[in-house]
Amino acid sequence: MKYAISFYMTKRNSSPVKEYILSQELSTKTKTLRLIELLRIYGHKLGMPYLKKVKGNLFELRILGRSALRILLCFQGDYIFLLHVFNKKTQKIPQKDIQIAVDRMKSII
């Protein structure tokens, strides 16, 4: 089953996740877009080391490399919503980043 990828859109009609990804250096951007494509194809089955459950219906897509990114996302039917993105700096996901993703998830579901 292939999923449709949807980037979270703000009320001002911008996509913070897409803008952040496109602002990265070429190697990080390429790796990120390739992993999003794999996520679109495999969904939940992508698994570790790329996809990890955070809590409930909130997951993190783990982009490994020199510039480690995390994309927080959720599944809703045939859609995957990319909610929030940040550079990984610590072992645990900062609570403020989880809260941003949860708030955005509530606004779409």
Q: Is the peptide bond before 94 cis (omega within 30 degrees of 0)?
A: no
The model carries a pTM of: 0.90
Instruction: List, in order of start, the domains of the chain with CATH numbers.
Output: 4-108 (3.30.2310.20)
Q: Cα(60)–Cα(37) distance, rounded to whole angstroms?
A: 15
pLDDT of residue 37: 95
* Residue pLDDT, tens place only, 44-103: 899 889 999 999 999 999 998 777 899 999 999 999 999 999 988 877 888 999 999 999
pLDDT of residue 11: 87
pLDDT of residue 94: 85
What tokens were used for 53? Answer: 């459950």
Q: Cα(6)–Cα(78) distance, rounded to whole angstroms?
A: 10
Q: Cα(28)–Cα(41) distance, rounded to whole angstroms?
A: 20
